[in-house]
Structure 1
């Protein structure tokens, strides 16, 4: 009897299992082409929906809506419409649907049945994308329309000693990176706005040279003149070219003037000619001879201001056209004359030639004229040169020839005295130079007549 009861129970269990399995199979089979219960894409519950039904729901709520959205970028001059269709903006609906439909594929029949009868829920995010390169292209077009190059004011000295100053122009620059961040924040993700407005960030760019700053140039604060009237044609040509390069040069506060930088390389192709130049301890012919008279004249014009040289070197031989110790030699690529505008006002340099003279006039604010300057040079330890005599049997007795000119040696100290409203307020040593003695060489003839 006991054995028979066990058999009956076993049969019942087997029958129940077969019945449940069959029922489960039928139940699960009904969901083969449907999205399982509890599956959501974003906030849409797609339980029991076919792929087509779910696709229709998602397209209506997301895909079709997103194509109607627009972003309006506004500048001071224009409006730009960025519609989502142009941007290639879309939700990856098919990708999300594939995840929804494949949910449960890795479950066995009983696990899937459990997921149907007792859903735990499955949340799937919609991926949003757009063409980033299209955004860049549109922003580039906006920048092209918006950007405006700043323009410096200019100053020109005209006849009568008056200055003509042109207007400066304030530039504009679209802050592309900032605008791109703003645009992306509007199109990245879900938004309920059909039209989003963005004010384009535009930065003003002030020119370095303003009309107001140039208007402070209203008076001559210094000048200096040297003569080159006896110079040969080549030397005079070089002086004219270099002076012309400097004429009209403007230096804003903090700017550094470089003679070589402004005048440029002295080349035959630029019109420079051969003339006497100091090389070492003697005079030789070379391109650009006479240029140092221009640099030295300008140097002396600047000495009668409070400007201090950044770079200045004296010749090996004292020049006759300038007081001792007040010269400034230059050699392109090697030696330069430089000074920095330490005023809070701009400086305008005028370089002129007239009747064999070089004129440099320095203009700036009239507020600087309450001070005047006196330059004094103190020469000490003069040493006269010796002359070495070389007998030359190819020359007749009584004949002689200077092979090398001798020059006296000395030390010189240049002092600048500053007067304010006529009273001495400062005395400073500008430079201390040493010119070594250069002995001469002369040939004398020994050949009998």
Structure 2
């Protein structure tokens, strides 16, 4: 009944502003939350056998409340649905279509990923050449690849966004209900069989359902609901999540519910979306203040760069910490001990600052203008598949010099497939008129990577 009221609350808000400051503020806070969460998981120790790098959250009490506070991935996909629907509708008014949208998204996501993966592959080669033990190099490659699942899944969701937005505009309730129900069925099969592999089907259903929820937010339908109903929705989603923990359906560690994704993330996304809608006016006011506004302006154009580079930065900081401890012979605080906790504020500040320093110049890559997209839907489908395959390769096989090179090759292929053929390529069989006339040859147009 609530879903029906959401669908009927308002007509789509097509004339949304170019930038939504509240959305930008929340996205900025989400990016910072991801860096903080992963930084808290970095554990470094030095023993007689050498340096050791572990997940500091394994078996700890604090990961559960921290995951409740910083599990922002469902909200990321809701915001992605909001931003994508808003951008695509604006493009339609300018005479563009879903083909252009998908081509632009492929370029915006995969070009910075190509640079990051190629650089990490080169760094791993340098570590190997420097004599770093193979197991430490392999661990660094494994840790780097872990957050990349987001890139692959988000790429697929955005590639499907034009088609799913059309379904939303014709049958909003039916579409999101089917996706959410499919996610529930996958959870049921996984739990009844005990085979976790079935849960990876929810890489599609859970995240697509959350993206679909973002369409309702873009329509203005959620904001149009009464304040009381939105409070009830947030409370009901939170209560359902808590009941699922008590019943043993879902782990209370929300980080664990990502691998594989579970319907717990749907409850998180619904609660966060309702709370965002309730606080939207205040968030807009906060976003207009000088300090938050400067933060938004710094992070928004660098969001993907920050996400891609924060893990390499954390790995470098962990390595430098171990090297410094071995050189100075100073002991490192025991993981999860009192001194370790006292050092966390400084560690988190260092992680955020170092990530910002690295992301600032590298964001130029993210800002490279998207070239004209191919008009071929099948080429865009192949490009999406190649980009997803690159991520899957690193996740399944781990990141090393060879897999990084193979993934980079797949990303280059994806970027080339997504762009429109260059005009000079279609004229390559005919002689250049300027040469026939004996004049100076014209400069060959630049061939952009994307």
Normalising by the residue count of structure 1, what TM-score does the alignment of the two structures yield? Answer: 0.15
Which structure shows the bigger proportion of residues in strand conformation? 1
Which structure shows the bigger proportion of residues in helix conformation? 2
Considering Cα pairs closer than 8 Å and 6+ residues apart, tell me whether 1 or 2 has the greater RCO. 2
The structure with the larger Rg is 1
